[in-house]
Amino acid sequence: MIASIQAFYEGNVQGVGFRYSVKQIAKGFDITGSVRNLCDGRVELLATGEEDEVRAFVEAIGQSELRAHIKKHSEALLAHPHAFRDFEIKHD
């Protein structure tokens, strides 16, 4: 079953290579999506794929060296999956 999630990471998650590291982790999973910095200091992650792959991807982020930068993580399933070709860093 295809699942799409939106997750937010808070803490020291900007200016530390967080987005780049998330993109590197994504290469190991069959998912599409994006990661971007938000104006309020959080990082937003959108990920779409088979539910097990998406869950494993999010878990891998939490178990990586990035965990030292994450103070809070929240996520929600999205009713309408986003259409992405691959996994990208958004700069907006």
Domain count, the chain: 1
Residue 91 lies in a domain: no
What are the catalytic residues?
Answer: 19, 37
pLDDT digits (tens, 9 = 90+) for 70-83: 999 999 999 887 78
Average pLDDT of the segment spanning 59-64: 97
Task: Tell me the C-alpha distance between 22 and 28, whole Å.
Answer: 10
- The one-letter amino acid code at 64 reads S
Range of the domain at 68: 2-85
Whole-model pTM? 0.94
pLDDT digits (tens, 9 = 90+) for 22-55: 999 999 999 999 999 999 999 999 999 999 999 9
Residue 33 lies in a domain: yes
